[in-house]
Amino acid sequence: MTDAPGSLSRTPALSPWQIWLLACRPKTLPAAAAPVVVGSAVAFAAGSWRPGPALACLAGALLLQIGANLANDYADFIAGADSHDRLGPLRVTQAGLLRPHQVLAATWAVFAAATVVGAWLVALAGWPIVVVGLAAIASAWAYTAGPYPLGYHGLGEPFVFVFFGLVAVAGTGFVQIGTMTTAAVVAALPMGLLATAILVVNNLRDIEADRVAGKRTLAARFGPRFARTEYLVLVVGAFAVPPLAVAAGVGSWWLLLSWMSAPLAVTVCRVVLHEEGRPLNRALAMTGLLELTFALLYAAGLVIPRIAS
């Protein structure tokens, strides 16, 4: 695949399966899986891990991420936010690989599948999951679609922090434990911060295109310096949580295993501070890897003491 998105003439012929896989944006899925891993580790540490509900939470998170990706592909095309010289990965609607109505139909099909998974979770954990599930689907759609797209009005960061942090981690823990725990809320903080950092890199890369399209992200409003500072604050904040959790007695020293991902964090921060435009695609992938690595190490810090006890 060429790194010149939007140019069909330079895009190799793709099978229908490859096109739909491209539309789902599989590289974004670890960001959806990471908080579920951490939430399940919280449940394991509490002696309440349940593989069935854990897998259902994972399936629901992945479906919501895919649905949001498809909705974003469709809505940005309709709004004219995707141009032929976009810097990010290929968008199937803008590239003409799929028609808008096909992507829209797929979006709602995926959301319907997420609803089916959610119905089983509701049977397990009760009405709070109804509220969370409906809010998650509505927000996934409203991020770039609907009468007031959240991402177009500088609300992307709080959306990502809440749903990829607090809701995903604490919700996964709630389904398995049956109650909201302090450990789950604390674990949600670094995951939400790192997920938000992924969005910030994306917005930093697309500042000029977003300004032209009228997409008023925080980066587009306040500029590259603000976005880079925001990124550093998010990453540093995520790494501050484990020692603070240990100091507060919420977890053991094993949580500091997450600091083993610090060298990757330093590397990606350097890229974000010194690059602009298309080279930030590398930082985007690295930030996703950072979130997943941090999540696995943090989860290990929760699980190991339980196994050892």
What is the three-state SS of 126-191?
CHHHHHHHHHHHHHHHHCCCCCCCHHHHCCHHHHHHHHHHHHHHHHHHHHHHCCCCHHHHHHHHHH
232 contact partners, CB below 8 Å, separation of at least 6? 269, 272, 273
pLDDT of residue 58: 95
Q: Is 212 part of any domain?
A: yes
Q: Is 5 part of any domain?
A: no
Instruction: Give the position of tokens 């609803």.
Output: 115
145 phi, psi to nearest 5 deg? -120, 180
Average pLDDT of every residue of the chain: 89
More confident call, 276 vs 185: 185
Q: How confident is the model at residue 86 (pLDDT cuts 50, 70, 90)?
A: low
Q: Is 38 part of any domain?
A: yes
Q: Is 65 part of any domain?
A: yes
Please count the structural domains in the chain: 1
Average pLDDT over residues 10-36: 85
Q: Is 178 part of any domain?
A: yes
300 to 34, 51, 210, 272, 296: CA distances (angstroms): 12, 17, 39, 28, 6
Q: Is 4 part of any domain?
A: no
Q: With 90 as the cut, is the pLDDT of residue 259 above it?
A: yes
- The predicted model scores a pTM of 0.89
Average pLDDT over residues 164-180: 92
Cβ atoms of residues 149 and 142 within 8 Å: yes
Average pLDDT over residues 73-82: 78
Domain that holds residue 272: 15-308
Average pLDDT over residues 97-123: 92
Q: Is 203 part of any domain?
A: yes
pLDDT of residue 133: 84
Q: Is 1 part of any domain?
A: no
Q: With 80 as the cut, is the pLDDT of residue 84 above it?
A: no
